[in-house]
């Protein structure tokens, strides 16, 4: 079996021969009158008519004076080009990158991009085809694409060469079409609800809005370090101060944390903020939004997840059930979130075979117990009754000043959305920021930074509001894939294999 280098060398030889014919193997211009799907679906109307098609060569077959080339384009469907040697050979304009076929078919390979013009027809076997009269080379491929029969299943190689993965494994390509639909549906729902999309800066003086360790970069123009945003939250709430009533931002955020099955340091996320709304209105909007997104992306509201759980988002006007954070820890572990000491909580952590770290505080320890229980929840449910000391940005509950008006959407054993009635008291906000900063100074890298500019903004006045954020982790979960499988090009440690080093000896790799 030929090696990759040998196959590439043979294609380089063909490339050189093509150039000697006066053909530009990578022309800038092309034309397509119909895509492959249209020709297949509208054959009756197009039969006998001249069309121009483009695509990647999937296979080439020769039978004496006949040749068949199968093309594939972005729609994923295939179309056969029928080529026959007539008594008068097809003319070729080399300046337009045209080849004479079938005589010069040996210069082509699977993977090449081509353009063909001819009549729509059916062969004697009944296959829809284009009888190619003119044929142009658009891009000569130098590496062979693995075939579906050969397979492309090595996880490391699939993630490193995702462009190959999407060609060989169509289900992977379809996943990213659905990912696009997921975010399009999110945007469409919010715009239908009269939210305005305002994209804010990625570089921030102070990283805020979430418990996460930020990436640090430097802006030479200002001679100052900046953080890549960990959340969209605080700039959007500044827009409420500015007078906007319904705003959202959709884009990447960055959290300098470890890879897990559910998390990536860089990922897409969305947050919305709604003035004059509270958490009750926010829950109702969230129920409608998640159902709309499921309908538009998958056409279903019932999913079997990778952990075996089934989640059903139900019918319109049906509300998700609620569970209490305080009650769960009391009933499951005998822990009083307000009275139990850090030592008592850590005893329970060890009994549950959960890790106890030196930097752990009460918040991190309580969160670990909750996360263990949460794995059993198929959902969807709203987690409520989050203590004030665990959420520095939410209003307190009316009637219970120890708890916040926060809700987290839970399904598949994980928290997928976080939302709350927004804190708009600048003095209270400053106090909570100072508590978080003290935790950060004590070694908790994920505690929130004190953002004095945001406190100043609140002093100008922010209306009561509800805000929510979710990331593409919802998409990954409902797709039943891990975080790395759920994005087109996940970050990987840079590596260059020996084959590549051999192919490019003149490059220092």
Question: pLDDT in tens for each of the 509 residues of the chain?
Answer: 788 889 999 999 999 999 999 999 999 999 999 999 999 999 999 999 999 999 999 999 988 788 899 999 987 789 999 998 765 556 688 888 899 888 889 999 999 999 999 999 998 889 999 999 899 999 999 999 887 667 788 888 899 999 999 988 889 999 999 999 999 999 999 999 999 999 999 999 988 887 788 999 999 999 999 999 999 999 999 999 999 999 999 999 999 988 888 889 999 999 999 999 999 999 999 999 999 999 999 999 999 999 999 999 999 989 999 999 999 999 999 999 999 988 899 889 999 888 888 767 888 899 999 999 999 999 899 999 999 988 888 899 988 999 999 999 999 999 999 899 998 999 999 998 898 888 888 887 777 888 899 999 999 999 999 999 999 999 999 999 999 999 999 999 888 888 888 888 888 76
Spacing of C-alpha 463 from chain mean position: 33
pLDDT value of residue 149: 63
* CA distances for 471 relative to 10, 50, 179, 486, angstroms: 46, 47, 12, 12
Q: What confidence score (pLDDT) does residue 359 get?
A: 67
Whether 167-320+379-486 and 4-139 are alike in CATH topology: the answer is: no
Residue 30 three-state SS? coil
Do 208 and 231 contact (CB within 8 A), yes or no?
yes
| Whole-number pLDDT of residue 148 | 64
Q: Which CATH number describes the domain made up of 167-320+379-486?
A: 3.30.930.10
Count CB neighbours of 342 within 10 A.
15
Token pair listed for 389? 């000391």
Instruction: Assess contact for 394 and 209: CB atoms under 8 A.
Output: no
Q: pTM for the full model?
A: 0.90
Q: In the prediction, which pLDDT does 243 show?
A: 97
Query: Do the Cβ atoms of 466 and 278 come closer than 8 Å?
Result: yes
- 507's CB contacts (< 8 A; 6+ apart) are none
- What pLDDT, on a 0 to 100 scale, did the predictor assign at position 229? 95
Query: Does residue 107 contact residue 97 with C-beta atoms inside 8 Å?
Result: no
> Residue for token digits 């209270």?
428
Quick one: CA dihedral 195, 196, 199, 205, positive or negative?
Answer: negative
Taking each continuous run of H as one helix and of E as one strand, the counts in the chain are: 15, 20
**Beta-carbon contacts of residue 271 (< 8 Å; ≥ 6 apart):** 231, 232, 233, 236, 248, 249, 467, 468, 469
Nearest CA to 457 out of 233, 165, 295, 153 is that of: 233
Q: Please give the pLDDT value at position 87.
A: 53
> DSSP class of residue 333?
H
Domain 4-139: which topology?
Answer: OB fold (Dihydrolipoamide Acetyltransferase, E2P) (2.40.50)
**pLDDT computed for residue 422 by the predictor:** 92
> Domain spans of the chain?
4-139, 167-320+379-486
Q: Is 290 helix (H, G, I), strand (E, B) or coil?
A: helix
DSSP-assigned letter for residue 422: B
Nearest to 22 by CA among 104, 132, 102: 104
Contact indicator for 85, 45 with CB cutoff of 8 Å: no
Q: How many CB atoms lie within 10 A of CB 506?
A: 4
């Amino acid at each position: 079996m030929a090696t990759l280098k040998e196959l590439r060398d043979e294609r380089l030889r063909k490339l050189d021969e093509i150039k000697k014919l006066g053909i530009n193997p990578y022309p800038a211009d092309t034309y397509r009158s119909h895509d492959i799907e249209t020709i297949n679906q509208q054959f009756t109307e197009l039969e006998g008519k001249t069309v121009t098609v483009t695509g990647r060569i999937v296979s080439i077959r020769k039978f004496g004076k006949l040749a068949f080339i199968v093309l594939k384009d972005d729609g994923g469907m295939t179309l056969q080009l029928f080529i026959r040697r007539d008594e008068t050979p097809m003319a070729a304009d080399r300046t337009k990158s045209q080849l004479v076929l079938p005589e010069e078919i040996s210069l082509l390979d699977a993977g090449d991009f081509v353009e063909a013009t001819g009549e729509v027809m059916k062969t004697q076997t009944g296959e829809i085809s284009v009888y190619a009269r003119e044929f142009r080379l658009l891009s000569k491929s130098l590496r062979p694409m693995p075939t579906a029969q050969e397979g492309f299943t090595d996880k490391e190689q699939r993630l490193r060469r995702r462009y190959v993965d999407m060609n060989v494994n169509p289900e992977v390509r379809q996943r990213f079409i659905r990912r696009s639909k997921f975010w399009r549906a999110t945007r469409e729902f919010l715009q239908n609800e009269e939210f305005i999309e305002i994209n804010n800066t990625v570089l921030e003086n102070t990283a805020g809005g979430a418990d996460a360790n930020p990436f640090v970069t430097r802006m030479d123009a200002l001679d100052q370090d900046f953080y890549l945003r960990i959340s969209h939250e605080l700039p959007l709430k500044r827009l409420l101060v500015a007078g906007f009533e319904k705003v959202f931002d959709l884009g990447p955020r960055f959290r300098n944390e470890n890879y897990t099955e559910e998390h990536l340091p860089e990922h897409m996320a969305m947050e919305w903020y709604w003035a004059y709304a509270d958490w009750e209105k926010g829950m109702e909007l969230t129920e409608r939004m998640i159902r709309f997104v499921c309908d538009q992306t998958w056409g279903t509201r019932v999913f079997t997840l990778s952990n075996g759980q089934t989640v059903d988002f139900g019918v319109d006007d049906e509300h998700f059930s609620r569970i209490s954070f305080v009650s769960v820890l009391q009933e499951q572990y005998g822990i009083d979130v307000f009275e139990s000491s850090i030592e008592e909580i850590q005893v329970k952590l060890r009994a549950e075979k959960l890790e106890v770290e030196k930097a752990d505080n009460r918040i991190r320890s309580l969160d670990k117990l909750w996360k263990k229980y949460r794995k059993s929840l198929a959902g969807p449910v709203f987690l409520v009754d989050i203590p004030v000391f665990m959420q520095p940005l939410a209003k307190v509950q009316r009637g219970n000043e120890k708890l916040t008006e926060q809700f987290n959407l839970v399904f598949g054993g994980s928290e997928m959305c976080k939302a709350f009635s927004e804190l708009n008291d600048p003095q209270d906000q400053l106090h909570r920021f100072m508590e978080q900063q003290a935790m950060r100074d004590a070694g908790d890298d994920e505690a929130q930074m004190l953002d004095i500019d945001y406190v100043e903004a609140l002093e100008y006045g922010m209306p009561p509001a509800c805000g929510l954020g979710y990331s593409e982790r919802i998409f990954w979960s409902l797709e039943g894939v891990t975080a790395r499988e759920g994005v087109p090009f996940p970050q990987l440690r840079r590596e260059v294999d020996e084959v590549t080093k051999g192919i490019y000896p003149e490059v220092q790799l």
